[in-house]
Amino acid sequence: MQGGQMVVEEPFKLSSSSIPSLTKIVGTLGPNSRSVEAIEACLKAGMSVARFDFSGFDGDYHQETIDNLRTAAKNAKKLCAVMLDTIGPELQVSNETGKLIELKADDHVTITSDTTIQPSADILPVSYADLARTVKKGDTIFLGQYLFTGSETTSVWLEVLETKNQDVICLVKNSATLSGFIFTMHVSQVHVNLPTLTDYDKQVISSWGSRNNIDFVSLSYTRHVEDVQELRAFLKTQNLNETRIFAKIETVEGLKHFDEILREADGVILSRGNLGIDLPPEKVFLFQKSAVYKCNMVGKPAIITRVVDSMTGNLRPTRAEATDVANAVLDGTDGILLGAETLHGLYPVEAIKIVGGICAEAERVYNQLFHFKTILKYMKEPMSHAESVASSAVRAALTVKAAIIVVFTSSGGAARLIAKYRPTVPVFAVVIPRLKTNSLKWIFTGSSQARHLLGVRGVYPILAGPIVATSGGSTEETSLKLALEYGESVGLLKPNDQVVVFQKIGDSSVVKIVEFEG
């Protein structure tokens, strides 16, 4: 049975696939997932990128966590990329006492920019002086911890009734108990006149980010292409030239400028929590499908958030959540970002395992041929030589029913090009280190390029040693042996399996097919 996004063989198979998910999983590390043991379990469960959210934790806290990550990665013998998530123009209500605040439906509450006032059920101070000048009667304000906890009972919807000087008087639309020390506020479809890259974000990047040579920055509340350009320029001043940028689209303003943002960014995160507030509920899926499609066509990763909120407190997701994850994969999503599920959730490891299992099952029925033809139709003719050979490698893998694709790369570009055509088998990217010099010494590159590929669907980087990089003519022979041995060790290769190899000979790229002898 074949449809636009799906190919199903009947009868259905009830057993799950043993092949790991091609879709990448980003896990947010925090209180319930920051010990060495917990992180090691997350890595073994399928986490390939560790996200560090600075909304509620400082650099010292995250330094201890990333040190634990390095130990866990060494123990598990797995690579893991690091993603720094900026705060951006996020509006917050600070509740220093931590007292519970009970809000009742149909009551009135005042939001003020006077941050010296203690929050209560009657008045809430927010860190934005221009709020009263920004909103108007009838606007919707969302407040609480839903974006962190996944629980609606910790959040409240407000309707603006009027503004008076620096105060905004609101009608409480639902009863809720605000708990914790920080509540996030989001004003639907209203421009917040604050910089996307804040001074605090710059301080975090220049200190913690530089010290830890971060792989990705998730630029929260990206609204214009200039936001990405500003961040890239700042990263260069911090000697983070290779750090890749994911534009986090959270507002209608960002969606309006999506095409320009996509051209500049290295990937996109669709932050469905805030988008679900900014957009009418019936519009969210349309924008998600459109954004993912556009990312697919240009070969840039699209990651979605807020998929299994219920697993923050439950061992299993709801049926709707499981279906949502599968549909995202069928649409072409490259990665799933887990926030509250791993940050504060009771079952971080189980959340990663279950999401990975759902992704793997959806990948089994993903209509790769439909996608392949769609992207070929989208491409302008004539295709570049590299693009032509990359698409041929994926076509060859389908034709011979290859077990894996092996690609040799230094920058990661060749692996990304193959991944763009969404092969149904894993892509082993053997990253060949390059010897380069700075003003002080000679160094080998390669480790950053390998970790960057952890954010690309279906690509599994293998970092070759410096000996391979300097071995002259035997480089690719040695690298191929390395990849095949690894494939056999993880159970993806057995004797007589076909392997598609994408390699460069001189200035040209070629594809060949080899049989694994075991």
User: What's the confidence (pLDDT) of residue 1?
Assistant: 43
Cα separation, 121 vs 103, whole angstroms: 6
Answer for the pair 454, 49: CB distance below 8 angstroms, yes or no.
Answer: yes
- CA-atom Rg of the chain in angstroms: 24
Answer for the pair 154, 117: CB distance below 8 angstroms, yes or no.
Answer: no
Q: What are the tokens at 266? A: 């290295």
335-350 pLDDT per residue, tens: 999 998 999 899 999 9
Residue (of 305, 219, 221, 309) closest to 270 by Cα position: 305
Question: What's the 3-state SS for 447-458?
Answer: HHHHHHHHHCCC
Q: Where are the alpha helices (DSSP H) in 365-469?
A: 368-378, 385-399, 413-420, 447-452, 466-469
| DSSP secondary structure letters along 151-195 | -GGGEEEEEEEEEETTEEEEEE-S-EEE-SSEEEEEETT----S-
Average pLDDT, whole number, for the chain? 89
User: 186: which strand partners?
Assistant: 142
495-507 pLDDT per residue, tens: 999 999 998 766 6
Using pLDDT thresholds of 50, 70 and 90, give the confidence band for residue 442: low
383-432 pLDDT per residue, tens: 888 889 999 999 999 999 999 999 999 889 999 999 999 999 999 999 98
Answer for the pair 213, 239: CB distance below 8 angstroms, yes or no.
Answer: no
Answer for the pair 27, 44: CB distance below 8 angstroms, yes or no.
Answer: no
Residue with tokens 């070629």: 510
Using pLDDT thresholds of 50, 70 and 90, give the confidence band for residue 17: very low
Cα separation, 307 vs 291, whole angstroms: 17
Cα separation, 234 vs 265, whole angstroms: 14
CB atoms within 10 A of CB 205: 23
Cα separation, 493 vs 121, whole angstroms: 62
Q: What share of the chain is helix, strand, coil (3-state, %, to 5)?
A: 40, 25, 35
Cα separation, 375 vs 377, whole angstroms: 5
- What percent of the chain has pLDDT above 90? 71
Answer for the pair 162, 132: CB distance below 8 angstroms, yes or no.
Answer: no
88-122 pLDDT per residue, tens: 999 999 888 888 999 999 999 999 999 999 999 99
- Statement: residue 7 has pLDDT above 90: no
Answer for the pair 24, 456: CB distance below 8 angstroms, yes or no.
Answer: yes
Please classify residue 196 by burial: count the beta carbons closer than 10 Å to its beta carbon, then call 0-12 exposed, 13-18 middle and 19+ buried.
buried
Using pLDDT thresholds of 50, 70 and 90, give the confidence band for residue 510: confident
User: What's the confidence (pLDDT) of residue 386?
Assistant: 85
Cα separation, 513 vs 190, whole angstroms: 55
